[in-house]
Structure 1
Amino acid sequence: MVEMKNPIKEADANPGVNHLSMWRTDLAYYWVINCEGRLQDDMHYHDNDDHIFMLLEGECTIRTPHKEFVLKQFDTVLLQSGEPYQLCNTGTGRMLLLGAGNSGVDGKPRTRVPKIPSHIPVTDPIVA
């Protein structure tokens, strides 16, 4: 398979889609997160799925239980399987993140804990 797509043009053509699937193969999955300003998802993790995120547009803070990572355009971060994280659009405009991960390991589908994502206004981190 050889297929070319422009993630920014795909997001522009699908403005209401927050999780835009780009490609899926037997081994990998690629997507774009298209998030409005000042929103965050919940702290979550994946049991069997490493993630790589590259910030294409906007502002993004990735929170882990131990540290925050502030991404600038084209910064890239690796989150290993089992590592809890939270994606936060800390800007007022659109945030586009290109994501890459495993398509499933040993025939098991990707996991997400908790299963249902939430998207709420950005808040200050809760210190444990």
Structure 2
Amino acid sequence: MFDWEPKLKVLDLYEGKVLEGNDIPVKEGNLPEILRQFSGQSYQVIPYTGITDINHKEIYVSDKVIVYKYEKNRGNYSVCRGEVVMNRTKPVVPSKEGNFYDLSDLSLEFEIVGNHFDHWEDINL
């Protein structure tokens, strides 16, 4: 049997904050059991993407990030900023132009600048 402990955070939609660790009210069982425990409540489970940003922070779905691309003649430069979403089975950052930047693309780097509840205009870049 495959015994896997999912890494997750929880959005408390009522209080407007991100819960993690011991602040999560219920977190026992496998992933389907955890999701069932939160159904019908003002919580949204957000999974860890398995990827870290340039500062070695874990990236979760709904984190606000800046996407960087590296080119030999230009160095690192910002491509876009956006909120991490799931596109079928993989985490991506959609741009305003309709592009999707895959978090597993090794030519890109990401930096977390906020979470779901942070407003872009309030984030100091």
TM-score (norm 2): 0.28
Compare the two structures and name the one with the higher helix fraction.
2
Q: Which has the higher contact order (CA 8 A, sep 6+)?
A: 1
